[in-house]
Amino acid sequence: MTFLDALGAFGAEDVAKMRNIKKLVYCVVALLAASILAPDFLFGQSQLPVAYPDGYRGWERVKSMVILEGHEHFEAFGGFHHIYANEQAVVALKDQVAFADGAVLVFELFETITVNNAIVEGQRLVIGVMEKDSERFSASENWGFEDFKEANPRLRMVTDMREQCLSCHATQKANDFVYTTYHR
Ligand code: HEC
């Protein structure tokens, strides 16, 4: 039996159906590829997600803190955390001026381990990121919020910036929604 005979056995209608399914599959694959390679192609500039903060461990560390059981934020982020700021964010923190577009702050959280009467960093649990962009994130006070579980660029955890992040950060409106102040 040749390939054409086999096609004949399906009947012209089935073949047409298969072609349509094939076309559909190609379309889905192309859209998926476009959304991964160039999210703005599909969703428009306004929907570009918060960028993963590559190399944040080399940025300026502006604060560290250990939150123990009993603290009001223990449930949300008990553990050992550091806050890092990129250059634009450091300028704003130091000079106490408004954060410019491009400013990024990273909240890095580790579990705590008590060893030999010392509190040390355990596993890295999450990094929280705030990226200032008045165009892309105008719906959330000009800040984009994202959590990357275990600092993994593929494990994005935020589905609703206002509910999951601004619910607390809105209390810092007078400081452009940022808690941290610069410790000279
Ligand atoms: C339960 C309240 C609460 C929620 C919810 C919350 N934060 Fe925060 N966040 C804080 C507090 C308090 C600090 C300051 C910690 C410090 O002083 O060391 C902070 C600090 C930060 C910082 C460092 C910059 C700053 O404001 O000091 C980033 C980045 C951050 N949070 C990201 C996020 C993201 C992303 C979300 C949502 C997934 C989120 N936060 C949700 C309370 C919250």
Convert the pLDDT of each residue in 66-110 to its tens digit.
Answer: 999 999 999 999 999 999 999 999 999 999 999 999 999 999 999
Asked whether the beta carbons of 147 and 59 are under 8 A apart, the reply is no
Per-residue tokens: 169:
């950060």
By most ligand atoms within 8 Å of CB, the mutation choice from 71, 80, 84, 165 for ligand 1 is 165
Band (133; pLDDT cuts 50, 70, 90)? very high
> Does the pLDDT value for residue 7 go beyond 50?
no
What pTM does this model have? 0.81
By most ligand atoms within 8 Å of CB, the mutation choice from 52, 99, 179 for ligand 1 is 179
55 phi and psi, to 5 degrees? 75, 20
Residue 77 Cα: closest atom of ligand 1: 1
Q: Is 22 in the pocket of ligand 1 (CB under 6 A)?
A: no
Task: Quote the percentage of the chain above a pLDDT of 90.
Answer: 74
Q: Is 74 in the pocket of ligand 1 (CB under 6 A)?
A: no
- CA atoms of 137 and 125, how far apart (whole Å): 25
Q: What is the dihedral of CA 103, 105, 106, 112, to 10 degrees?
A: 170
Question: Would the CA dihedral through 171, 173, 179, 184 be positive or negative?
Answer: negative
- Write down the pLDDT at residue 47: 74
Q: Is 164 in the pocket of ligand 1 (CB under 6 A)?
A: yes
> Does the pLDDT value for residue 44 go beyond 60?
no
Task: Give every CB contact of residue 102 below 8 A, 6+ residues apart in sequence.
Answer: 86, 88, 132, 133
Q: Is 162 in the pocket of ligand 1 (CB under 6 A)?
A: no
Band (32; pLDDT cuts 50, 70, 90)? low
